[in-house]
Structure 1
Amino acid sequence: MSESHEDEPGALDQVLILAPYRRDAEYLVRLLTEHEISVAPCTAADLATHLATGPGVLVATHEALTPGLIAMIGEHLHAQQPWSEMPIVVLLDRASPNARIRTALDAAWPRSRQLFYQRPLTPVELVSGIQSALLARLRQRDVRDHIDREVELRRELNHRVKNILASVSSIFEMTRRGAEDVDALAADFGGRLQALSNVHSAVFQSEGESISIADIAALTFDPYRQQGVSRIEAHGPDVILTGAAGTTLALCLHELTTNAIKYGALSRPEGRVTFRWQILADLRPDLSMEWQEEGGPRVVAPSRVGYGTRYLRSALTGLFGGKPDIDFAAGGLRCTAQGPFSRLAGNPEAEEDVSGG
């Protein structure tokens, strides 16, 4: 049999009592209950059922431990999870062959946690020993929870590293195809990696799995503003995205910005860019985004679709669930996208809050 993954009340914090003779069980239940310790008396017939719940401590009188029950308890101890070590309190009689009993139980339950008390003993001594055993058991639960969390974090880290490496590989391949020389390849690839790194750092520093659009815009545009390109406006309501959605949006804004600097509005002193977002609340709230350039050179639709345009269409479609509108208008490039807010929201209550507003 295997021990259950105990979280329900009456599992690791419960004392199982196996004392079928005289009034031992009645006395133990009353004594431990008075000290606010959860107890569950059992018999030989239902011992297996109680062990399956994963009790915190087993208290047994030595005369109750028949060979069959000793073997059953031994199977339970052997099947415990690596973090688990159920303490067993054995109550001995002064006249019983205590040395022989200890030797037999050590052989039947190797490497188990056994505590022996010789009757008669004071109630304080017994309660103190059982409370100490329960405390040790609850610390084992803390270890279990820590192990579970560590395993979960390792799996999550492995998944994220794979995703990041896949993103980097994809970015490199698509950058390489559009590069004219090694220097251009290095500059474009480095810039895209920096945009990816900035958002990942921001999500990590927020100690959560979300990031605001305003923070994404600041992380993306500030490096260019520091280089003297300060003609980018960004405004919209306070909207929180998931970390994955934020990373994708940052890469899209990076593509639009670098394109504007090389060929669009930001290649001219008088050129300007406006990036705005808003929530459109109707039957369902939608998130709408718009990138608008103006004041730059006359825009001519490209003869072939480059990496930036292909990436924008693919990424924004995945982000919003619908194709974006990329308009190479003569007066300035315009890119818009719209989709259900629930696809991107970084907080579960966001859609309800927007709908209610």
Structure 2
Amino acid sequence: MRAPPAESELDWVLVLAPFRKDADYIAAFLGEQKVDVLAAKAGDDLESHLGRGPGIIVITHESLTPDVVGMIADHLAKQPDWSEVPVIVLLERAAPIARIRTQLQSSWPGSRLLFHIRPIAALELVNAIQSNLIVRLRQRQVRDSLDREKELRLELNHRVKNILASVTSIFQMTKRGATTVDDLATEFSARLQALSNVHSAVFEAGGEEVELSAVVELTVSPYNRGSVSRISVSGPDIVVSREAGTTIALCLHELTTNAIKYGALFHPDGAVNVNWELSSDEDPVLSLDWREAGGPSVQAPTRQGYGTRYVRASLQSLFGTAPQISFERDGFRCSASGPVSRLSKRT
């Protein structure tokens, strides 16, 4: 007798044949076919056997007592919607098959009833059991597909809500800083494009994580045309979560916008260097640096604009510490650092 395993691709078989040597006989030739089976003996705790979750039940005519029928009925009633447990009933040739079928269909509505007349050839019974093991496997595959579809719907709903929240936030912040409708439309469209670029990078990466280099390149690529690279990028390979990539991209977009309006990219000879480094600590730290050069002489503004406020708040939330923002005379600089673990996929 092969005991049912804890985990198996195929279900196991519970045999209820308490008389003669039927249970051992069935278990023996099923075991030869590598089918996991538990042959119940007279006096066994049937409720316990059923609680272990057999995929198929093989039951002989003489086992169909009211108590057994009731326990199997209770077990079947507890099955999830996807589960239709095959029950193979081995009847005597002289048994009132029609009456038994009607009674069992009424008692076991959640089963897949199959009847065979004894004596039955071993090969015929093995084929019937193996066919129904495949049926059980397909049932579980359907269940897994439905569960995955449900997860995908929930995930899609979550993502759509997050995107709409981001769009609403970007619009409200842009509106507060805009002086004309044209300014609002131009800046809002540009910020949405930055958000779109990051989602494109994550989609192309095929998961919840994305290469930081891909995020940075997609964000700054519109400003590097042909052989002219106004914004240089360098740093080691590192993977960040979708949320972290989105935040970094939007911050880089704001820094680029400010550089075009007031900083290094305002002058044709100005340039920006974006660099990131990883420490060799056990819990490595990522340092991200934005440095401008070749632009107009820099002076600290008298009031903090939307872009600076957004960058400061977003990078502090992402890295865990406030970024260092300095309006140095030879060029604006923004540096942020924090544990890489904060930028990895969050559960």
Aligned to 1:291: 290
Q: Which runs of 5+ in 1 are unaligned?
A: 1-5, 348-357
- Separation of aligned partners in 2, 1:154 and 1:93: 51
Q: Aligned partner of 1:236: which letter?
A: G
Q: Aligned partner of 2:264: which letter?
A: A
Q: Which runs of 5+ in 2 are unaligned?
A: none
How many angstroms does 1:112 deviate by? Answer: 2.6
Q: How does 1:90-239 map to 2 (within 5 A)?
A: 90-110=89-109, 112-226=111-225, 230-239=229-238
CA contact (8 A) 2:77 2:110 kept: no
1:329 aligns with 2:338: no
Task: Quickly say closer, same or farther: Cα 1:162–1:285, change in 2 above 3 A.
Answer: same
Q: How does 1:330-349 map to 2 (within 5 A)?
A: 330-345=329-344
How many angstroms does 1:346 deviate by? Answer: 5.6
CA contact (8 A) 1:11 1:56 kept: no
- Separation of aligned partners in 2, 1:125 and 1:58: 16
CA contact (8 A) 1:274 1:291 kept: yes
Q: Aligned partner of 1:22: which letter?
A: R
How many angstroms does 1:262 deviate by? Answer: 1.2
Find the residue that maps to 1:139 and give its secondary structure: helix
- Separation of aligned partners in 2, 1:48 and 1:226: 74
Which deviations, in whole Å up to 9, do the C-alpha atoms of 1:102-142 show, x marking residues without a partner? 11111112253111000011111110001001110011111
Which deviations, in whole Å up to 9, do the C-alpha atoms of 1:61-97 show, x marking residues without a partner? 0210111221221222222111111100000011222
Match of 1:23 among 21, 24, 32: 21
Q: How does 1:261-280 map to 2 (within 5 A)?
A: 261-280=260-279
Task: Quickly say closer, same or farther: Cα 1:72–1:283, change in 2 above 3 A.
Answer: closer
Find the residue that maps to 2:278 and give its secondary structure: strand
Match of 2:32 among 34, 39, 50: 34
CA contact (8 A) 1:10 1:38 kept: no
Find the residue that maps to 1:26 and give its secondary structure: helix
Find the residue that maps to 2:111 and give its secondary structure: coil
Find the residue that maps to 1:226 and give its secondary structure: coil
Q: Aligned partner of 1:337: which letter?
A: A
How many angstroms does 1:170 deviate by? Answer: 0.9
% identical equivalent positions: 56
Find the residue that maps to 1:151 and give its secondary structure: helix
Aligned to 2:59: 60
Number of residue equivalences: 343
Aligned residues: CA RMSD: 2.1
- Separation of aligned partners in 2, 1:34 and 1:100: 35
TM-score (norm 1): 0.91
Aligned to 1:260: 259
Which deviations, in whole Å up to 9, do the C-alpha atoms of 1:13-37 show, x marking residues without a partner? 1001111111111111111101110
- Separation of aligned partners in 2, 1:155 and 1:52: 32
Task: Quickly say closer, same or farther: Cα 1:8–1:176, change in 2 above 3 A.
Answer: farther
- Separation of aligned partners in 1, 2:342 and 2:8: 41
Task: Quickly say closer, same or farther: Cα 1:28–1:283, change in 2 above 3 A.
Answer: closer
TM-score (norm 2): 0.94
How many angstroms does 1:345 deviate by? Answer: 3.5
Which deviations, in whole Å up to 9, do the C-alpha atoms of 1:174-202 show, x marking residues without a partner? 11100111111111111111111111111
How many angstroms does 1:226 deviate by? Answer: 3.5
CA contact (8 A) 2:76 2:110 kept: no
How many angstroms does 1:237 deviate by? Answer: 1.0
Q: Aligned partner of 1:213: which letter?
A: L
Find the residue that maps to 1:193 and give its secondary structure: helix
Q: Report which stretch shifted further, 159-168 or 115-124.
A: 159-168
- Separation of aligned partners in 2, 1:57 and 1:234: 61
- Separation of aligned partners in 2, 1:126 and 1:144: 27
- Separation of aligned partners in 2, 1:111 and 1:40: 22
- Separation of aligned partners in 2, 1:298 and 1:230: 21
Q: Aligned partner of 1:289: which letter?
A: L
